[in-house]
Amino acid sequence: MVLPTHLQGNLTPTEINFLAENELITILPRYSIKKINLIGATIPNLRAMRREKVPLWVALILKNQDKCNIVPPKWLNVNYLKEKYDDEIRKPTQFSDLPWNWLELSKILLTKASDDLPDSISDLRSIIQDLREIRLIKSRKGLKELNESNIALNGLSLLEINEIRPFVLPVMNKLRQLHDTTLKHDAGTNEENMADASDDE
């Protein structure tokens, strides 16, 4: 394949960020802007002080030029995140349901739109860091349960899945290979499977 090996099979953090920037977010424009049709989305007619939903990257450009305020998503405040944190502690075997992009979104908003957030930045940062750490510990613990057939990652976000993928996939592949070879019966079909498995890597 032409794509360089370090880009194959896994998303880079910048790519995840890029995906997260497609998320719709509510903004409070300060100027009126006519409707714009883009390839993947449309920016609706923007009128001053009327809330509209636009892709995050548009919001960031407007924010950079001081043409809008970003309305933070409803999960991005200390109280809500505190609740989630307590949730995480109460249920040691599962992950609380946070938005699919919570890490990237919060990072983007904290760095680029910090003046629009309701709570103090340092509080938000620390609670997000706490949440991230406790979830990291959980996913580390979960790795002990790795087997060759299935894995449950309910409630993990894209970035979190992405950072365990380069470890989990090869390990599961190896386990599956070993498991397949130890199956004594129907040895004939097994050899074919082995050939497939080694091709996959």
User: What is the contact surface with other proteins in residues (CB under 8 A)?
Assistant: 2-7, 14-15, 17-18, 61
For other proteins, the closer CB: 17 or 77: 17
* Residue where the block lists tokens 């505190």: 82
State in Å, rounded, how far the first CA of the chain is from the last one: 13
Compute the least distance from the CB of residue 55 to other proteins, in Å: 14
Compute the least distance from the CB of residue 64 to other proteins, in Å: 9
Determine contact, residues 100/158, Cβ cutoff 8 Å. Answer: yes
For other proteins, the closer CB: 147 or 198: 198
Cα–Cα distance measured from residue 98 to residue 142, given in angstroms and rounded to the nearest whole number = 18
For other proteins, the closer CB: 15 or 86: 15
Give me the residues paired with residue 55 across strands. Answer: 24
Compute the least distance from the CB of residue 121 to other proteins, in Å: 21
Determine contact, residues 26/52, Cβ cutoff 8 Å. Answer: yes
Compute the least distance from the CB of residue 16 to other proteins, in Å: 9
Determine contact, residues 16/22, Cβ cutoff 8 Å. Answer: no
